[in-house]
Amino acid sequence: MKAKYINPFTDFGFKKIFGEEAELAKLGPADLERYEYSLKIFRDNKNTYDYAVDTAFDEGKMEGILEGKMDATFEVARNLKALGIPLEIIIKTTGLSASELEQL
């Protein structure tokens, strides 16, 4: 398969970009101000969305880590209980309460 020649002036949209700049240059002061304000709003909204997505991912990741640690703690407690280790030692070792151990 032969590689296609890429024309940077057409394939990368340079004409489109420069065409848009030319259109902006035609705007009057009031229209240009409205355009810039709407562009600012768009960028603010995008940044807010990106931050919210990143934060939600980090919070979900932390929840998963904590849940995994609790599962591991319960598994250790179950194993200690199956071995006949006294409940007082299991409580001190795992940090679980007596009522949580009873549920295992």
Query: What averages of pLDDT result for each successive group of 10 residues across the chain (104 residues)?
Result: 56 57 78 84 86 76 86 91 90 88 84
User: How many helices (H) does the chain have, and how many strands (E)?
Assistant: 4, 0
Q: Would residue 60 be called left, alpha or beta, if left means φ above 0 and alpha means ψ between -120 and 50 degrees?
A: alpha
Domain range annotation of the chain: 29-102
- What is the per-residue pLDDT for 4? 61
- What is the per-residue pLDDT for 48? 86
- What is the per-residue pLDDT for 50? 82
- What is the per-residue pLDDT for 104? 78
- What is the per-residue pLDDT for 13? 54
In the chain, how long is the greatest CA-to-CA distance? 84
